[in-house]
Structure 1
Amino acid sequence: MNQLPILGITMGDVSGIGPEIAVKALNHKEVYETCRPLVVGNSDIVKRAVELIGNDLKVHVIEHVVDAEFRYGTIDVYHRTDFNIEDVPYGQVSTLGGKAAFEAIEKVIELAMEDKIDATITGPLNKEALNKAGYHYNGHTEIYAELTDTKRYSMMLAHENFRVVHVSTHVSLRKACDLVKKERVREVIEIAQNACLSLGINNPKIAVAGLNPHSGEGGLFGDEEINEIIPAIEDARSRGINVEGPVPPDTVFSKAIGGQYDIVVAMYHDQGHIPMKVVGFQMDQSTGSWKAVNGVNITLGLPIIRSSVDHGTAFDQAGKGTASEESLLNAISYGIDLAKARLNKKKS
């Protein structure tokens, strides 16, 4: 048991589905057979989530990681942020919800930086609540980058063997085009290479998506491929990286899903997110609700491990007890794999 990695799990915005899916995930016995999980956040919120889903899980409040029991049937909670839970009702944006979410993230990062936990797993944030509380970030990625003093980083989305890493994420589409620069594209290719190696993929096959339709068609539809993307790819190849591109963005993801590539470098947020969510998210036509929400969001380039669900707070579903924990279980699984790889690397 003491050899299993310790995972710190945050619930995201406490008014969303984050607490519910955290409790549901920790109701899976196999989680405790593969890691030592603890929740970082308000313990009363965890208790409310336990009552919501109607199970008999116990809540064990701790002040230090060493106090955790890591026993199935009991959720260890590293308590943060005191408040009256009636002040954070389900499905509502609030300053308090944003404050609680940020303080949990801040603590879980601190614990990881101090090597008291081996990986961090994050629930979904509400960016409006976060900014309302005075924390002016676009999302988890930017918080982690600042609090770990990381300059070179990128977001990776993953579902089974389909992986996408981004040149830019939470910026306008107009600005995203301006951010497609040789140095940044080459940097993300290298980040993608290191990510695959950390997952045990030797000599990964990397595809770089074009920015423009048909990857610019030789300059007819834009010159970013000629001036920025192709030089970045050639530079990466000269460093021994197995990379192809620019591959037209309307076919590159189908090729990756078919196993031709281990990872795709996407140029901007929606270029990578849309194909990932088409694959991982499935809606039930008869009920109009999600029957599967799969996928993981991983921040690459950090000195610590961060894996996350690939969906939002779903305020419209909060408090109903119907949210799926699948994406969180996927995030936990990825966190375990990355933590084991890092621990093994330290030993060697």
Structure 2
Amino acid sequence: MTPGNNGASTPEDDDPFGYLYADGQANGATPPSGGGGYGYPGSVNRVRAVGERQYGQQQPGYGQQAPTAQYGQQAAPTAPYGQVPQQGAYGQPNAHYAAPETVPGGAPTGRQSSGGGGRGRGPNTKGLLIGAIAVVAAVVIGIGVAMMNGNGDENKASSGASASASAATSQSASPSPSSTSSVSASGELPKTDAKALRLEGGTTTASEFKGAKADGGIYVTGFNQVGAKVTWTVNGIQKAGTYRLYVRYGVPGTDADATLLVDGQANSQPLSMKNFGNTPAGDWEKGWKTTWANVTLTQGTNTIAIACNDGNQCNAVLDQVYLTK
């Protein structure tokens, strides 16, 4: 194939650069000038706007007019046969590249107000204001709750300190030992150290002799004189009847005895505190013994007293007392 016109003057056979060759120039090929065509005389230069071609549709044949624009689109301007359509000036809208919003029926240029009027709606200032107020209210409520909790803790601490001070005052004001005992919830009868009994008639406590089972090795002494007495109040006796009273005592190798009273009434038999086992005379540390006597108690509260009366031999010390059925 040689440059030039090799047959029918059809677009497929046009050589746009035929004017560059000698044989093309001999056949009449001329360079392009102005807005017209170029190449051989009668050459075809078809121009189509960008995006006009629709894929899947039948294209116009040679020499036929391009399909018209669809509804809502602006038709591209046509140019004379063989000429390039005139482009718009720089910075001016081009019909081939018109934005959809500039076409009648195209996309809207901005958000439209739901209330009409064609004016765009600005930020939701009312919603922002409500949100800000809610945040401030939450902060204020949180601060209030924290302050209330803090005051509550301070009140609790103050109350606790007051209670501790009151407890300390009451403990220091009242005597530490108690001459009253109660039957436990399980029905177990009470047991107590003799030093916790009510001491009368010159009785006192000491810890000189070793071997006492009372807490701290403390026992009751000063019992060897007429008028000496210890009293124990027992609460919660569930059933009236005869009970056995045990007394742990100490003697210096000699026999002793005492008067036993229940609710102010003396038993017919004295409380025996003999030197069982015949421990050496004067040996208090080896003279710890245990004795017992039957007592008749009533239901409820009873008082039990061990006294040194006239006719008793009271040279003894008292360690512990307890009841059994």
Q: TM-score, normalised by structure 1?
A: 0.17
Higher relative contact order (CA closer than 8 Å, sequence separation 6+)? 1
Give 1 or 2 for the bigger CA radius of gyration: 2
Q: Structure 1 or 2: larger helix share? A: 1
